[in-house]
Amino acid sequence: MKRIFNSLRARIIALVIVFCVLISAIFIGVLNYAYMGYYDELRQRQGSEFARNIVAMYPQLGDFEKLDRADVESLFEKMLLLDPRSAIYLLDSDGRIRAGYTKERSIGSKANVSLGPIRRVLNAPIGQTVYGDDPDFTGQRRLFAVAPLVAASAKAEPAGYVYVLMRPPNTDVASTLMQSYANRSAIAVAVGGTLFSALLVFAVLSLITRPLKRLTDAADAVSADDTHGALSLNMLPPGGDELRSDEIGRLSRAFRAMVMRLREQAHQVKRVDANRREWVANVSHDLRTPLTSLIGHLETIQMRGERMSVEDRVRFLDVAMRNAQHLDRLSSSLFDLARLESDDLPLDKSPAHLGEFLDDFVARFAAVAETRNIALTVEYPPGLPLVSIDAALVERALANLMDNALRYTPSGGAIMLSTTPRDNGVAIAVADSGTGIDATMLAHVFERFFQGSRHREGGGHAGLGLAVVERVAQLHGGRASAANRDSGGAVFELWFPLS
């Protein structure tokens, strides 16, 4: 039983049934109250007509001096043959009982009747029910009817009253209700309405809670997933719920989108973790190889000392220097990325003209390009808007791109740096005439630790140089992109917003 009521649908249905039963009970109670009120009103109206008929048929009842009490009581007894529980009393103008007949008790247990209720009945509007004294049962109020008696002298005030007391029958309320076809019909309607309402609520709740249960089961399956993030699409509820235009449909679509995002994020985490493991291995290798070579050459110089020729000493020191520079570039890339990953990295921004910025930047690489017979050009349109940048960071990112371009551009090739306004911002492009980028790697070249990026950057960076480029663009609210040129070579672009 406790497990059943753990269901939202079961609790709502039980609540609706209790509510319907309560409404039905109130309805039946109000019906009984209204029925009894109407029944008493009808009886009082009929009793008043009966009392008026008595007065009309026996006008001598108002002359108390000539009244024979035994004859009057015998007359009243005959009138009550059809309703023996009722009683008829003859009252004078003060409410004293002059004669009467009742089978309940002997007349005289109470000598008089209050005139207040009698006057209210005679003056009350139609539809108002009044209860008066029962002479035979002290302290009890009964339904009654009354008609005034007029004396022979025709005084303005009534000489007395014919007081008809209508005692209730010896039946309970349930029996009284069930004796009426209208009451039986109303009770049947109330019970049937309760059952119909419960069935209708059950059907409606089934339509509503069935997709919710499917979503709950799917959520439980995702929560209990032990595949380490490899969420299966079989965990999702049927697609039919997503076609609905109501809140259930919106919830189903949102749940599916959430699971798809979790699935993609899980795959991304696995991919990044695999790249990280490979990167750690690559960095270890890249550190170990030049470090081993550096130590070996230095040990050789130390061991041979004066016996080494000047030419050999210079050659060994040159190799050691190149290995040391390789280690310096690698450590610089690691430090740059770690620093840029900080959430509270302050940016020293200032407005800059990117065209003039590129002119100054290219001058640093002019000698290297000339040595390798590579043409360096800068292009930018007039009237270029100013952009707020951290010049040192942007220069670091461009240096990484220039290193790649110089490495992959053959002798006799060209590297062009350009800047153009676009999309409410300014873009810097670095295009080379080298071998380009493998199409399968274009979407991943900016991912840190990515092996293809590492091959593109060459030794000394371990796949971090392009990650640094993208992070610099992101810190400025911009973006980085890469593509292959139709004429050959690759083009890398940094876009910075004007605001």
Cβ contact 413:433 at 8 Å? yes
Rounded Cα distance, 43 and 179, in Å: 16
What pLDDT sits at residue 300? 83
Distances (CA, A) of 104 to 43, 76, 163, 165: 20, 14, 16, 12
- Return the biggest CA–CA distance within the chain: 172
Position 339 pLDDT exceeds 80? no
What pLDDT sits at residue 177? 59
- Backbone φ and ψ for 290, nearest 5 degrees, come out as -70, -30
What pLDDT sits at residue 250? 79
> Which of 379, 475, 373, 369 lies closest to 429, judged by CA?
379
**Predicted confidence band of residue 230 (pLDDT cuts 50, 70, 90):** low
Structure tokens at 9: 């649908």
Distances (CA, A) of 348 to 32, 105, 338, 475, 476: 86, 112, 18, 11, 11
Sheet holding 87-92, edge to edge: 97-101, 87-92, 160-166, 141-149, 131-133
Q: What does the pLDDT look like over 443-452, one tens digit per residue?
A: 888 876 565 5
As to burial, measured by CB atoms within 10 angstroms (0-12 exposed, 13-18 middle, 19+ buried), residue 430 is buried
What pLDDT sits at residue 353? 92
Share of the chain above pLDDT 70, in %: 81
Rounded Cα distance, 112 and 98, in Å: 9
Which of 224-228, 373-377, 402-406 is predicted with the least confidence, judged by mean pLDDT? 224-228
What pLDDT sits at residue 174? 57
Position 146 pLDDT exceeds 60? yes
Average pLDDT of the chain is 79
Structure tokens at 344: 């509270």
The residue behind tokens 């004007």 is 498
What pLDDT sits at residue 441? 84
What pLDDT sits at residue 350? 92
As to burial, measured by CB atoms within 10 angstroms (0-12 exposed, 13-18 middle, 19+ buried), residue 182 is exposed
Position 337 pLDDT exceeds 90? no
What pLDDT sits at residue 284? 73
Alpha-carbon 274 to chain mean position: 37
272 vs 392, which has greater pLDDT? 392
Q: What does the pLDDT look like over 53-94, one tens digit per residue?
A: 888 888 888 777 777 888 888 888 888 887 777 888 888 888
C-alpha dihedral (208, 210, 216, 217), degrees to nearest 10: -170
> Which of 83, 87, 105, 101 lies closest to 169, judged by CA?
83
Cβ contact 480:446 at 8 Å? yes
Distances (CA, A) of 176 to 32, 46, 179: 9, 19, 5
179 vs 478, which has greater pLDDT? 478
What pLDDT sits at residue 6? 62
Residues 39-50, mean pLDDT to the nearest whole number = 84
Rounded Cα distance, 365 and 22, in Å: 90
Structure tokens at 179: 């004796």
Position 459 pLDDT exceeds 50? no
As to burial, measured by CB atoms within 10 angstroms (0-12 exposed, 13-18 middle, 19+ buried), residue 288 is exposed
Strand partners, 142: 132
What pLDDT sits at residue 109? 47
Structure tokens at 132: 């008066």
Rounded Cα distance, 21 and 19, in Å: 5
The residue behind tokens 């303005």 is 156
